[in-house]
Structure 1
Amino acid sequence: MDVQKVEAHIVGWLKDYIQKSGTKGFVVGVSGGIDSAITSALVARTGFPVLCVEMPIHQSPEQVNRAISHIKDLEEKYFNVSFQSVNLTGVFDNFIKAMPVVNDSEQRNLSLVNSRARLRMTTLYYFAGLYSYLVAGTGNKVEDFGVGFYTKYGDGGVDLSPIADLTKTEVYKLARHLGVRSDILQAPPTDGLWGDDRTDEDQIGASYPELEWAMEKYTEGKVVGDFEGRKLEVFQIYSNLHRANQHKMLPIPVCIIPPDYKN
């Protein structure tokens, strides 16, 4: 991958999009992870105003420190970058208190995890509305179009997706080129939504390089019977998640009413 050309292409695409949209800048949620790090670095390079928002919800100090340090690095390099911290822990705790406890199952926990992501989306759009900014998404290709590893109307609720055509491996290559901090490069990928140390690989059951391999094979039309051992296991993980999460990746279905029903 020619990282210099990729960087220039994305920055040019961002500048062209915002000029045509008539908006004034970008807002991006910065979590301390690799995807939000390169997204914020790329939008900073456009020269348009960029608001980096850090939104902890029972977050580990390591994640918070990485996010803040990264944003400070950007502020030192780019005059157009500003920083806003919004601690959503109290908001989330009050949300839990307001919700009825139907059961105490893993499904309820997952629902609350997704609610965290949606609180952050709401916060980003609050600032976007204030300043007439666009919300820049941080999802990569495997998450957005492979396994659907994001929250619908949470981190999936964005105005544009600068890195959604890059695999996680390509994200790391671009991050090194952009000079992203070593602590972010070395941190295991995590969505940071569970309030513990579980990683993306813990949740999915496969690493990003494995998922990239499975995505390629799935696109080629390979089937379960073509593999065995660990490759079979990974291919099944990918295939199952890809099918189960189609509702996130496809346009919202619209019930079309036959014209004669309206006459």
Structure 2
Amino acid sequence: MHECMAPFDGFDHNAQSLRVVTHLEQRYAEFDGLNLAWETLEGLVKHNGPLLDSDGNPIGKFKGGRLPFAISEYADKQDLLLDTWPGGEAQAAAIADDIAYDAHDLDDGVRAGLFAVEDMREVPFLADILVDVDRKYPGLEESRRIHEIVRRSITRMVEDVIREAVGNISELDPQSANDIRMAGRGLVGFSDEMALAEKEVKRFLFARVYRHADVLAVRKLVARIVKDLFRKYQSDPELMPHPWNVGLGSLGDTETARRICDYIAGMTDRYAIEEHRRLFDDTPDLG
């Protein structure tokens, strides 16, 4: 989607989430969006850290460029303090997301046959867990063995985050939620040792799962579906259903592209495939 939207300010999934809850959801008579608390919107946008430096320049993955359209557009309406860290709850949600992704991808990868349990020994963090599991439960059936490895990896990471967060917060001794935002660093996250271990897990998953030939083949087909739909709607926006096709005549190219992007980004996998099948005769089989 980012490739399709490159001529029209690009696409970012976090920014799109903000756009959904502040603009695209239309549940109230007097305004668009879901009327969420400021803290919720702040956490949604910058749960991984500040987006701007003290001079207002984009940093992190946006360094040298500009903020996504949805974020910069909303920033004109409400200040989300994009140059500070988020509150503690958002930091906890962000690290929980990382832990959950690692655990699920390990579980999914081994069960899908992308790698074997024994391959996990390549990662010291996982190798140590394997030793513990095999010592305590020799001869354990494979499905339970996998569950135990994943469960223990979650537990070790969560316990590390708790210890680190308690120490950091005790050291700072914040008197308000804003003190956490202004701390100049994240307070809820991994220790240095666990951060290195988690990077090794991600490196393993990158090689064994995210860049596995079978996964890349499916990703290529999925990308084709998205690109086909985008270009088809660009050539004839009226193909989109009501209310997405309302008022298209008053929109310029950028606004039309954003409308198309909003529509496709809101599709489920199944709906996108069905819509592609409706519009094309060569929809790929994703298995």
Q: Normalized against structure 2, the TM-score is what?
A: 0.28
Greater relative contact order: 1 or 2 (C-alpha under 8 angstroms, separation 6 or more)?
1
- Report the TM-score when normalising by structure 1: 0.30
Q: Which has the higher helix share?
A: 2
